[in-house]
Amino acid sequence: MRAGATAIALLSGHAAAHASEQGGVQAVPPSDPGNPPAPGGVAGAPQAGPQAGPQAGPQAGPPAPFDLATINDIVVTAQRRAESIQDVPIAISVFESSDRDRRGIRSIQDFANFTPGLTFSSSLDRLSLRGIGRLTNTIGSDPGVAIYNDGFYTASNAEASKTPMFVERVEFLRGPQGTLYGRNSVGGAINVISKRPTEEQAGEWRSSVDNLQLVSEGYLSGPIVGGLKARLSAQVTRATGSRYENIARTATSRDEGFVNRFFLEGQLQYDFSDTTQLWLKYSHAEWNDSNPIGAQVSPYVTNDIDGATDNSLTPAAAFGYGVPNPSVTDPRRINSNTLNQSLLSDNHTIVANFTADIGGVALKYVGGYTQYKYQAFADLDYTANQLVVTNFGSAPIPALAPFGLANAFRTYSYNATYVQDYQEDKKYYTNELTLSNATQGRFNWIVGAYQFHEKYFQPVTWFVDGDNSDTLSQRIAAPICVAPGTFAIVPNCPTNPRRAFYDGSGDLRTDGLAGFGQVDYELVDDLKATAGLRYSWDKKRGFESYRVIQWQPAGAATYCTLTPGADAAVVGLGACGAAAAAQDLTRFLLNLPGVGAATRELEDSWSGFSWRLGLDWKANNDTLVFGSYSRGLKAGGFNLGSYADSPVVDKEIVDAFEVGVKSRPLSSLMLNVTGFYYDYKNAQIPIVVVRPGSTLTTTNFFNINKSRSWGIEVESAWNVTRSLEISANYSFNDTKILRAPRRFDDEGMPGNILEDITGNRLPAASKHKVAISGLYDIEVGANDHIFLAASYAYRSDAYYSVFESPISRAPGWDQVDARITYTRPDDGITVILYARNLFDTLGYDGAFSTGAATNYRQVYSYTFPRQAGVEVQFRF
């Protein structure tokens, strides 16, 4: 983003996991190679790219000749053709590589801080624009903001986080982009445009080090022979510190919140002629990170063994635990004996662009393929407690009294180390062909066809770690199966060698097709009308597996057996300690015959039209007034892996009305204002519900009948002098649920109370966002420069559930960043001193409850702590 870009960007940085809420425990693990867990949650499938921000230290490129006397123009491709950003009748924010370098805009969290209406939860790896985005990362669901990697659709947020070494610019298109972009752009679209091979030999090396990481990256570029050019880039990130101090450090559980990554990218470009070109890009990434979802900041509950409502699958991890929770007084300190680790492997991405001018018609083909495997381990119990030995809550077994053994089994043990293993195995490819008029005129047109295919497997397991010496491990490895209705024991219950108390998986195949077209016509001088239409068809076929096993030695409805196993002799019923059998409740809960995991297939398809109707008026050379009515569409989906009662949701529809003004009142001042109103139908919301006939919970999908979102966005850039620029933006976004299908119980809060969520805000939508930045250029000698940059960002509170309960509310927060850049263009040398989150404030980007099984403890996820470091760059 150069001076005058609609997006006013500054500095910041953070990281990301998916919330998997099934069974009787709620866990939020990482997923999605998109951004670290991605907390990523675990969210759809990312295409892994080099990380920026805290993932990769700030860097700065060679400042181009710099003149702040006037607002410079920026060319974008938001409408599939090159246009000045001030002439595009769309609310769009753009970040160019040169300005990202000067200001230190690195990560997707930075973009979110300084793009009106955009919010990002690093802990859950979810983007939202104007209150519309992704509310779950469960397989079978889709994001609401589409990301395009050089025209290739991806569900990965990582692409938008790549550093300026790799990316020429990033465009954020706010509002439904259902005509030209289509797939999942119901909330907006993000275009990531790579740097291409250069006409002349060029290269660069950059290295930065701070209190969290060391980042080295570089590229070589230039012609090979004839019209063939190439570019090779690489980035290596190694941890020098961590975000969280772990008071229970061991050989396998150390301080957490660190990044170790490798990224490689290669490009080939062949120019057949001035109008015909083929461009290919290959990339590969590897991760070995630690990405804790956040900190449980409530005190441990140490006097309860089976949760607030007796609905946990295993005994409470903190029972009898004598170590206080360090996060209560310092949320940057945790207590864990399980490393929250995320691993990315087998990651390969290929993108192809082919363009040609055929008799005045511009032809463009974009195709791509991505595959990756991702695995994330998460500490489900938030403690470092291990072996617990107790007789709490157990009772004598009367049937053994004649043998003098009534009390022989009252003492039991369990390893309180509960771990989640979340995995993604994804492959997908797309093809798109467009035709358009090669030369812009009074009448412009574009038509196209699009195809998408994806294979996605997502197993999630919660298991008991340890050496198998405790009662819990031995019992849960050989459970008994309980029949529905009668509670009778069913023979031949399958064993459970991994000691999993929840084991669910989803296997999904998705196919999508679309055809689209758009025209714009200048009705009279300076007055233009736009009309676009797209038809989309999506089909999903899913297979899911689900199994839950409970072991509660103090439970009242537990079979007592002397030895583990399906055919063990029953000697009683009740709280029988070490004699308590592990009970496979899968078929009992679902009222299904048989034993072991329950499986089923789901299949559905969705189709519909999305469109755009617009009118824009060029009032004068410096003012554009525009208005539009557009419809966005997102396919329905499944909730796979939990055998939910309501596993299917219908498609989402957004009818968006927008008006705006883009202006340059002075040659040194840019001022853009946009207002919008959304009619949002069938928002796809995951809500935890209690399974009928039990106290155990599961996550169901629901369509929220009707919601609305409206707001105002202001962006400005003022070049005060030739050396000083001040940029500022503000956004107001008011969201509300207008009608819901039913009343729901907030599983994150105590009590079984049905609530009407009508009137509540949409999740992850902050009402107020402010960003202010300043950039001052000091000339040193003939060509050298010192750039002084500082920024301030503020985001008001947000709820991370449809329930406006205190436990799902993340407080508002702000952040200050600063950097000093000294550059010698003639020598190709740049040196930077930087401080991100200068005052080390706590930034909240997620809030949730651990649920009833662990007595409703508060968990917050946080942005990155202060990073202070130095970077050196050398260009040749």
- Greater confidence, 51 or 312? 312
From CA 76, how far away is CA 92, in angstroms rounded?
A: 9
Does residue 820 contact residue 132 with C-beta atoms inside 8 Å?
no
Lowest mean pLDDT among 305-314, 368-377, 843-852: 305-314
| 258: enclosing H helix or E strand | none
- Greater confidence, 695 or 866? 866
Tokens of 511: 């196919």
Can you give the pLDDT at residue 309?
A: 56
**Residue 11 counted as domain residue:** no
Does residue 639 contact residue 701 with C-beta atoms inside 8 Å?
yes
- Beta strands (DSSP E) in 380-411 are 387-390
Tokens of 544: 């899911």
pLDDT tier at 218 (50, 70, 90 boundaries)?
A: very high
Can you give the pLDDT at residue 53?
A: 35
Partnered with residue 736 across adjacent β-strands are: 708
- Residue written as token pair 């706590």: 842
From CA 199, how far away is CA 676, in angstroms rounded?
A: 43
Does residue 685 contact residue 741 with C-beta atoms inside 8 Å?
no
Can you give the pLDDT at residue 30?
A: 30
Tokens of 144: 């609401």
Tokens of 684: 């796809």
| Predicted confidence (pLDDT) per residue in 352-391, tens digit | 999 999 989 999 999 999 999 999 999 999 999 989 999 9
Lowest mean pLDDT among 38-47, 73-82, 675-684: 38-47
What are phi and psi for residue 112, nearest 5 degrees?
A: -65, -40
Burial class (CB in 10 A: 0-12, 13-18, 19+), 862: buried
What's the domain count of the chain? 1
**Residue 4 counted as domain residue:** no
Nearest to 867 by CA among 14, 149, 41, 49: 14
Distances in Å between the Cα of 717 and the Cα atoms of 2, 20, 70, 71, 76 are 10, 42, 10, 8, 18
Tokens of 559: 């079979």
Is pLDDT of 280 > 80? yes
From CA 623, how far away is CA 392, in angstroms rounded?
A: 75
**Residue 381 counted as domain residue:** yes
Is pLDDT of 70 > 60? no
Question: In this structure, which amino acid lies at residue 674?
Answer: T
Question: In this structure, which amino acid lies at residue 847?
Answer: A
**Residue 5 counted as domain residue:** no
Is pLDDT of 436 > 90? yes
From CA 542, how far away is CA 604, in angstroms rounded?
A: 9
Tokens of 94: 């753009």
From CA 361, how far away is CA 359, in angstroms rounded?
A: 6
Can you give the pLDDT at residue 62?
A: 42
Is pLDDT of 10 > 60? no
Average pLDDT over residues 12-38: 30
3-state SS record for 648-696: EECCEEEEEEEEEEEEEEECCEEEEEEEEEEEEEEEEEEEEEECCCCCC
Nearest to 42 by CA among 108, 111, 126: 126
% of the chain exceeding 90 in pLDDT: 69
Is pLDDT of 231 > 50? yes
The model scores a pTM over 0.85 = yes
pLDDT tier at 551 (50, 70, 90 boundaries)?
A: very high
| Predicted confidence (pLDDT) per residue in 249-266, tens digit | 876 667 888 889 999 999
Can you give the pLDDT at residue 873?
A: 96
Which residues have a Cβ under 8 Å from the Cβ of 574 and sit 6 or more positions away?
A: 395, 397, 556, 557, 558, 560
Question: In this structure, which amino acid lies at residue 690?
Answer: V
- Regarding beta strands 829-836 and 844-849, do their DSSP bridges make them parallel or antiparallel, or are they unpaired? unpaired
Tokens of 765: 């939508």
Lowest mean pLDDT among 350-359, 534-543, 641-650, 712-721: 641-650
Average pLDDT over residues 203-227: 96
The string over 662-679, giving b where at least 16 C-beta atoms fall within 10 Å of a residue's C-beta and e elsewhere, is: bbbeeebbbbbebbbebb
Exposure of 459 in the CB half-sphere (CA atoms within 13 A): 11
Tokens of 699: 């996550």
Q: Which of 95-99, 142-146, 455-459, 565-569 has the highest mean pLDDT?
A: 455-459
Which residues have a Cβ under 8 Å from the Cβ of 795 and sit 6 or more positions away?
A: 113, 119, 766, 768, 769, 812, 813, 814, 843
CA angle 815, 821, 822 (to 5 degrees): 165
Partnered with residue 824 across adjacent β-strands are: 829
Can you give the pLDDT at residue 385?
A: 92
pLDDT tier at 745 (50, 70, 90 boundaries)?
A: confident
| Predicted confidence (pLDDT) per residue in 479-494, tens digit | 999 999 888 999 999 9
**Residue 306 counted as domain residue:** yes
pLDDT tier at 876 (50, 70, 90 boundaries)?
A: very high
Nearest to 648 by CA among 663, 660, 634, 637: 637
Tokens of 12: 């910041």
**Residue 288 counted as domain residue:** yes
From CA 159, how far away is CA 162, in angstroms rounded?
A: 6
Distances in Å between the Cα of 422 and the Cα atoms of 29, 287, 327, 425, 500 are 7, 15, 25, 10, 13
Question: In this structure, which amino acid lies at residue 589?
Answer: L
Whole-angstrom Cα Rg for the chain = 28
Is pLDDT of 120 > 80? yes
Can you give the pLDDT at residue 695?
A: 66
Is pLDDT of 232 > 70? yes
| Predicted confidence (pLDDT) per residue in 438-465, tens digit | 888 899 999 999 999 999 999 999 999 9
- Helix, strand, coil fractions of the chain, as percent rounded to 5: 5, 55, 40
From CA 153, how far away is CA 349, in angstroms rounded?
A: 12
Nearest to 818 by CA among 776, 778, 779: 776
Q: Print the domain residue range for 665.
A: 20-875
Can you give the pLDDT at residue 27?
A: 30
Can you give the pLDDT at residue 754?
A: 84
From CA 218, how far away is CA 874, in angstroms rounded?
A: 9
**Residue 43 counted as domain residue:** yes
From CA 279, how far away is CA 355, in angstroms rounded?
A: 9
Does residue 631 contact residue 653 with C-beta atoms inside 8 Å?
yes
| Predicted confidence (pLDDT) per residue in 46-64, tens digit | 333 343 333 333 333 444 4
**Residue 3 counted as domain residue:** no
- Residue written as token pair 């396998």: 252
From CA 147, how far away is CA 235, in angstroms rounded?
A: 22
Can you give the pLDDT at residue 71?
A: 58
- Residue written as token pair 């590897």: 286
The average confidence (pLDDT) of the chain is 87
Average pLDDT over residues 24-31: 30
From CA 148, how far away is CA 179, in angstroms rounded?
A: 15
Does residue 338 contact residue 379 with C-beta atoms inside 8 Å?
yes
CATH number for position 505: 2.40.170.20
Average pLDDT over residues 656-675: 96
